[in-house]
């Protein structure tokens, strides 16, 4: 079962996610950007999204842990909250598409606050402002997870295509 993303608009209705937010299994997922593939032109062209005003920012997240069947190992995982796409993401994807919930600095504190009610936390899960976001086309190699048995994580993948 894929649990990469949790839809903020129905998270309290999902048996996988509702207990996490109700029991404050809340986290911040740090990032300096995210990728989406162009679905509007018919070609799978990766685009990198980042913020103009912050080099590192946080997605709203939920976390959980469980034990292996043998009970010997503890596994931890997280999911990123999503919301409807803003205009800048909607130009690359279908406007009905979803995007990660990006929190501003004040919202990060509220998201982590155990005294802040789940319904109030979910009000933070709105579209991020377009005017502080930027987008550029990146190398299609960003989609390849391994090359010759090793990780494919070259730093140039996050640069705009014309600067590589």
Q: Cα(122)–Cα(103) distance, rounded to whole angstroms?
A: 11
pTM of the predicted model as reported, rounded to 2 decimal places: 0.86
Cα–Cα separations (whole angstroms), residue 148 to 102, 139, 142, 157: 35, 18, 15, 17
Average pLDDT over residues 84-112: 91
66 forms beta bridges with 75
Q: What is the CATH number of domain 5-163?
A: 3.90.1680.10
| Every domain of the chain and the residues it spans | 5-163
Q: What is the pLDDT of residues 8-37, one digit of tens each?
A: 999 999 999 999 999 999 999 999 999 888
Q: What is the pLDDT of residues 119-155, one digit of tens each?
A: 999 999 999 999 999 999 988 777 776 667 667 677 7
């Amino acid at each position: 079962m894929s649990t990469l993303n949790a839809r903020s608009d129905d998270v309290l209705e999902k048996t996988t996610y509702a207990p996490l937010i109700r029991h404050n299994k809340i986290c911040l997922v740090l990032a300096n950007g995210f990728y989406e593939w162009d679905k509007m032109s018919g070609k799978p062209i990766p685009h990198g999204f980042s913020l103009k005003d912050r080099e590192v920012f946080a997605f709203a997240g939920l976390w959980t842990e469980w034990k292996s069947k043998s009970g010997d190992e503890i596994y931890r995982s997280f999911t990123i909250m999503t919301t409807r796409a803003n205009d800048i993401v909607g130009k690359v994807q279908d406007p009905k598409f979803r995007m990660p919930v990006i929190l501003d600095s004040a919202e990060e504190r509220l998201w982590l606050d155990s005294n802040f009610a789940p319904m109030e936390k979910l009000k933070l899960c709105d579209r991020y402002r377009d005017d502080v976001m930027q987008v550029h086309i990146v190398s299609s190699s960003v989609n390849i997870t391994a090359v010759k048995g090793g990780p494919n994580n070259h730093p140039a993948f996050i640069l705009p295509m014309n600067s590589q």
